[in-house]
Each structure stands twice: as structure tokens, then as C-alpha cells.
Structure 1
Amino acid sequence: MLQLLRKIAFPFSLIYLLIITVRNYFYDIGVFKSKTPNTPTICIGNLSVGGTGKTPMIEYVIRLLETRKLAMLSRGYKRKSVGFQLGNEESTVLDLGDEPYQIQQKFPTKSIAVDANRLNGIAQLEQLIKPAVILLDDAFQHRKVNPHLSILLTSYACLYPRDWYLPTGNLRDSKREARRAQLIIVTKCPTNLSEEDKVAITRQIKPKIHQKVLFTSLDYAEKFKDDLGQTVDDILFQDKQIAVVTGIASPEPFIQHLAALNLNFEHLEFSDHHHFTATELKRINGFDVVITTEKDFVRLNGKVDSLYYLEVAHKFSEKDKSVLKETLESVF
């Protein structure tokens, strides 16, 4: 039914394409102004509405730049706070949003901030923190900021050259804008992706002379974690009534991974960044065990009993990892 509605909405996608094309053209010719920050700024984003693995990529980049005085700026989607917020020990998921809060918890020594106005957020960080580098989360389409480096993510299962525009497809920005990226990373690839397949995908992307195409797959942790951060084996879940709860843009790889572990579960799927109602939580708590993603865990923790999550990271070849690190260092 959803696919049928998307096809019916095709005329609206043409209108949407016209609007974003005109908007980008006005930025290109200077009618709308872009500002390059004084601080080296790295943008990590995509052309689609989600599902490319931005949060694990942010975490990966933070680890590669661990020795730098780093700050991350995000919009903080669906947070309850307003304006600029700098994360601290007392911050909650409602203050920062699920993804920034997750990163704040994993990297407490880094400065994690949210602001829908990216220029204001950057100015605040420069004044308060004076970071050596600022990571912009999901800001590729926010052209008021002209970053020093742009990393564009596209998922293997839904490459942007093969996608279409909202609401028929998943693209929220023009395919032509991919030219602004220095790195294009194809995420969520099969672990056995051949060199021939990589060449074929690169041909579809048609990178410009200044661009490099890299490939990464998802690397799930071997063990689950509970609400105390302690690791447990999946054998603990045998003969239990299990609910797998997801509120992310693309849960398919997560579900496929759990199915490969031979777990018998019911998948309760919600929209991206979903805030759970009392009725939904009551249903979820009716299961013996609840398994969720790391991103969903920060919204469910304290509200659901017997809650476990599985960490995930990006995995690059040594060659592509080296290219990524070298490109990141080039901004300094």
C-alpha cells in the first residue's frame, strides 16, 4: 500500500525537485549566502532522509580524531529543548535528542552540542570551547555553512543514483549536489563485496576528479549489553519471549543480523526517532526480553524491563581506512 501511495505521489516529487533545484541554484550564484567557519569543519551527511549509518560514522570519525580537541554539532532531531544546548553530565535524551545523547554518553570528554541554526551553533562552540575541529552531523543539505570537508554517505541497498525524490523516493536533496563532497562512502555493504562490485558501484556514482569512493560494512558486536553496560551472551535469550524494538530509518540489517543468530523474536517497528507512548511501552513490557538498537536504547532505558542492545560500527578495509584518515587530517 505504501509503495502504491508513493507512486501516486510522483507529481509532488517533481514539484519538490523543482524547489530544491532552485534553492541550490540560488546558493550557487550567491543569492543565498554560505559562510565558511574559521574552525576546520567536517560535514557528515547524505542526500536521503536517513538509513545510511550517520551516527556510527560520526563515532568512527571521532575515534580517528581522538587526539584532537573535537566538538560535534547536530540539530538534535525531536529533542524537547530549544536553541543552542551544550551537553553535560546532567543532559538527558530530551535535551539533546537520541543520537547526540548516545554520542555524549560514549565520548564524555568531547563537546557535543545541538542547534538547529548551524551557524549559531558553530559560533557558540568557537566562543565557549575553541575546538580544533567541528563535526557537523547530518548537515549536507544545510548550505548556509560551507564546510572545509564534506563526507557523503549512501547505503549499498539504496544508492542515491538509483533513488528518487520525496515523497516517491527517499531523496531530500538533488543528486547533483553530490559533487560538493570530497568523499562518498557506500555504507552497509555485504562483507564479501568483491572488487568487481566496487568498480561497478563506482561507475554508477560517477565520481568527479576531486572525489574518492570508499566502502564500508556494518560490524555488530559479538555480545549484547544490558542497561548497566555489562555484556551478555545471546544464550541468555533462549526459550524467552523476545521483542525486537526498532525506531530507526532502516532496521533491515539489524533484523537480518539477529535472525542469523537463530533468535526467535517479534519485530515491533516504529518510525525513526520515535517517542514511545505509555500504551506502546506497556505492550513492549509484556515480553520476557526486549532487544533494541543502541540508538533506541537511549529512549527506552528506564522505561522497559529486561532491555538489551547491540552496538554497531562501520568496518573499512585497511586501504579505505587509510584514505579516510588522510582526508580527515587534510583539514588541519
Structure 2
Amino acid sequence: MKILRYILFPIVPIYFLVTWIRNKFYDYGIFKSTEFKVATICVGNLSVGGTGKTPMIEYLIRLLKADFQLATLSRGYKRSTKGFMLADESSNASTLGDEPFQFYNKFKEIVVSVDEDRRNGISRLLQLDEQPDIILLDDAYQHRKVKATFNILLTAYHNLYSEDIVLPTGDLREPRSGAKRADFIVVTKCPDSLSEGDKLKIIKSLKPRNYQEVFFSSIAYSDKIKNNAEENSLAFLAQKEFTLVTGIANAQPLVDFLKSKNLSFEHLNYDDHHNFTSKEIEDLKSKKFILTTEKDFVRLSPNFEDKNQLFFLPIELTIDRPEVFAKIIKSKI
């Protein structure tokens, strides 16, 4: 795969030019962006792959749900349906997509919706009897048909956009200059040991504009494992022969965390948003005990009759300067 990326390097300037021109057309108003009266917060990235958008959306939900009527609007990646949909009791990971269904399972007090066309999705949400005060746009940084009230750009600590190039050789969906649209830049998946000196080096690399705030976030793993019926302490795994099943962009931090707890396990690693085949499901059901991510759990759990066979490890995002983060967000909306 890496060799193919290098072979395709001559396409990089073409991809760069096409995406750069597209952005300029939006910047100059040749392509139209719609700005809605409702507050919209866009969470996205410049790169392909996991930067932690789902934990950030959940962080915003926890931050804002007590004071505002919230809705999330996602594309619904790899769902079996099309068009605008609201999550309800008949929804599942197939009809909504795994991440929106995860939002619905965890936050019953908010509206969860999906639509490939964010502009249409927002319009439909504004037709509800109880209109949302804020709409959280999941993975919509490149969806420039909508002009968000506030843009949060994520970049992973181990793969900063400032040190990358565009597809197909690099991982960037658009040129690095696209970062100028962000109000916040959040460096995600940082190690707990990150020093202030390290942060300053990263900020220097990112070269934020004077109107941009840079924050640093980490993933906090729970000390409990859960499923829909029960929960156990993480130490419970020390007594188990278990299999870790992951279908996320980068499972290495989770693997490292479990190994730091001196746990021994088999690891089955699949592509991000992997659609498990019937044979794969049957093979997994032959395992004695499975630990997975919450995103994978919502897709896998309907296939397991033995509910004590499958658990997930919850995570939450933590952020430095949370008071500053919250104050600016609330003042903007």
C-alpha cells in the first residue's frame, strides 16, 4: 500500500490544485455556502483516518446538553439507507451508521439525525416541532455548502496535518491552507506525558492564525467494561482468556493501554467501519470472550445471543484548559 502511494505521487499536484480551486470558489462566493439562523458547530479534520471526531462530538454533547436543545447531524457512513433520517426505537447501526447510533444509544435526550446532504439535513431539523438550539455537524469540515457558526478542526498528535501532504501519497483531503477556516484546532490523542514545551513545539508547527485557539486532548479509558446488561471492572479481564476486536482507524493506543495493564489477549484488527460478514460473525461467536470498542459493539451486539460474551471499553475525551474551551464555545453560540 505504501509503495502504491509513492507510485501515485504524480497525482498529488493535480489533487492539490483541484481541492485548492474548490476552496477558493467557496471563499470568493462563486460556489454558494448557506448560513443558517440556528447555531451550527462543525467538527472535522483535514486528513482521512481517525482523529477522534466521535469523542469530540460526545464531549460537546456533555458540555452543552444541560443548557441547549441539541441535535447531531452525521453523514451516516456505510449505512444501508439514504437521505434524511431521525434516530428512533426502530433504528440500528445499519440504518443510521455506527457512530450516529452510538450517539442515540448514549444520549436519549438529544435529537440524532443523518443525511448525506448537510444543507438538507439542517433544513429538515428546523422543521421539527421542537427546533434545536444547536446542531453538531459530524465530519463536515469539507462540506462547504454549509457555513458553520463555529469550526473545530482536529489533528492527531502522531499525524499532524502540518507535517502531511494531500492524497493519494499523503493523508490530507485538502491542502493545509484549509486549516484557516477553523476557530479551534484540537490536537487529539495526546500522551498524558505531553509537556508544555512539547505543546509549544506543536503549536509552532501548526502555525495558527491569531484568531485561532489551540487545545490538546487525550483519550481517557474507563476502569470498567460494559455491555447492555452489565458492567465489570477492567481487572476482571485479568482472569479471562479474551479476544480484542477492533474496526477503527487506529487501534494501537487501545492495544498499548491494555498491555500497560499487563493483560494478555488475541487481537483481531479490521478496517475502520468494517462490515462484518456472516462467516466473520460465526468465527467471533466461537471465541470465549470478546472485548471491543463502543463503535464496534453497536454493530456486533445484535449478532450475539450470549450477552455475557461481548463487552466494550468506554472512553471519554479530556481536554486541557476546559474552562476556556467551554467559555468561548458558549459565547460564540
**TM-score tier after normalising by the smaller chain length:** over 0.9
Aligned ranges for residues 174-253 of structure 1 at < 5 Å?
174-228=175-229, 230-238=230-238, 240-253=240-253
Which AA in structure 1 matches 2:207?
Answer: K
Task: State how far apart, in whole Å, the 2-side matches of 1:325 and 1:146 are.
Answer: 21
Which AA in structure 2 matches 1:301?
Answer: S
- Report what 2:318 is aligned to: 315
- Report what 1:167 is aligned to: 168
Aligned ranges for residues 11-26 of structure 1 at < 5 Å?
11-26=10-25
- Report what 2:36 is aligned to: 37
Cα displacement string for residues 238-261 of structure 1 (whole angstroms, at most 9, x for unaligned residues): 454322111111111111111112
Is residue 12–residue 169 contact of structure 2 (8 Å, CA) maintained in 1?
yes
Task: State how far apart, in whole Å, the 1-side matches of 2:142 and 2:62 are.
Answer: 25
Is residue 165–residue 175 contact of structure 2 (8 Å, CA) maintained in 1?
no
**Superposition RMSD on alpha carbons, in Å?**
1.3
Task: State how far apart, in whole Å, the 2-side matches of 1:191 and 1:79 are.
Answer: 35
How far did residue 289 of structure 1 move? 1.1
How far did residue 146 of structure 1 move? 0.4
Task: State how far apart, in whole Å, the 2-side matches of 1:15 and 1:227 are.
Answer: 48
- Report what 1:288 is aligned to: 288
Is residue 149–residue 331 contact of structure 1 (8 Å, CA) maintained in 2?
yes
User: Quick one: percent identity of the two aligned structures?
Assistant: 47
Which AA in structure 2 matches 1:117?
Answer: D
Which AA in structure 2 matches 1:285?
Answer: K
Task: State how far apart, in whole Å, the 2-side matches of 1:80 and 1:297 are.
Answer: 18
Aligned ranges for residues 34-183 of structure 1 at < 5 Å?
34-66=33-65, 67-128=67-128, 129-183=130-184
Is residue 224–residue 232 contact of structure 2 (8 Å, CA) maintained in 1?
yes
Task: State how far apart, in whole Å, the 2-side matches of 1:240 and 1:35 are.
Answer: 53
The normalised TM-score by structure 1 is 0.96
More divergent stretch after superposition (79-88 vs 11-20): 11-20
**Residue 236 to residue 222, structure 1, CA distance change in 2 (3 Å):** closer
Which AA in structure 2 matches 1:157?
Answer: H
Task: State how far apart, in whole Å, the 2-side matches of 1:142 and 1:323 are.
Answer: 27
Task: State how far apart, in whole Å, the 1-side matches of 2:72 and 2:227 are.
Answer: 27
More divergent stretch after superposition (245-254 vs 280-289): 280-289
Secondary structure of the corresponding residue to residue 10 of structure 2 = helix
Which AA in structure 2 matches 1:6?
Answer: R
How far did residue 326 of structure 1 move? 1.2
Which AA in structure 2 matches 1:22?
Answer: I
Is residue 72–residue 135 contact of structure 2 (8 Å, CA) maintained in 1?
yes
How far did residue 7 of structure 1 move? 1.6
Cα displacement string for residues 127-180 of structure 1 (whole angstroms, at most 9, x for unaligned residues): 114111111000001000001100000010000001222221211122101000
More divergent stretch after superposition (102-111 vs 302-311): 302-311
How far did residue 234 of structure 1 move? 3.5
Aligned ranges for residues 296-307 of structure 1 at < 5 Å?
296-304=296-304, 305=306, 306-307=309-310
How far did residue 267 of structure 1 move? 1.4
More divergent stretch after superposition (102-111 vs 274-283): 274-283
How far did residue 233 of structure 1 move? 2.4
More divergent stretch after superposition (246-255 vs 2-11): 2-11
Task: State how far apart, in whole Å, the 2-side matches of 1:14 and 1:290 are.
Answer: 45
How far did residue 121 of structure 1 move? 0.3
How far did residue 197 of structure 1 move? 0.5
Task: State how far apart, in whole Å, the 2-side matches of 1:79 and 1:233 are.
Answer: 33
Which AA in structure 2 matches 1:316?
Answer: I
The normalised TM-score by structure 2 is 0.95
Which AA in structure 1 matches 2:37?
Answer: N
Which AA in structure 2 matches 1:223?
Answer: K
For structure 1, which runs of at least 5 residues remain unmatched after alignment?
A: none
How far did residue 330 of structure 1 move? 1.9
Runs of 4+ residues deviating >6 angstroms: none
Cα displacement string for residues 35-80 of structure 1 (whole angstroms, at most 9, x for unaligned residues): 1111011101111112111101100001110221111100010111
Is residue 301–residue 307 contact of structure 1 (8 Å, CA) maintained in 2?
yes
Task: State how far apart, in whole Å, the 1-side matches of 2:262 and 2:64 are.
Answer: 37
Secondary structure of the corresponding residue to residue 286 of structure 2 = coil
Secondary structure of the corresponding residue to residue 215 of structure 2 = strand
Secondary structure of the corresponding residue to residue 11 of structure 1 = helix
Is residue 226–residue 232 contact of structure 1 (8 Å, CA) maintained in 2?
no
How far did residue 226 of structure 1 move? 2.5
Is residue 185–residue 215 contact of structure 2 (8 Å, CA) maintained in 1?
yes
Which AA in structure 1 matches 2:318?
Answer: K
Secondary structure of the corresponding residue to residue 330 of structure 1 = helix
Task: State how far apart, in whole Å, the 1-side matches of 2:29 and 2:235 are.
Answer: 60
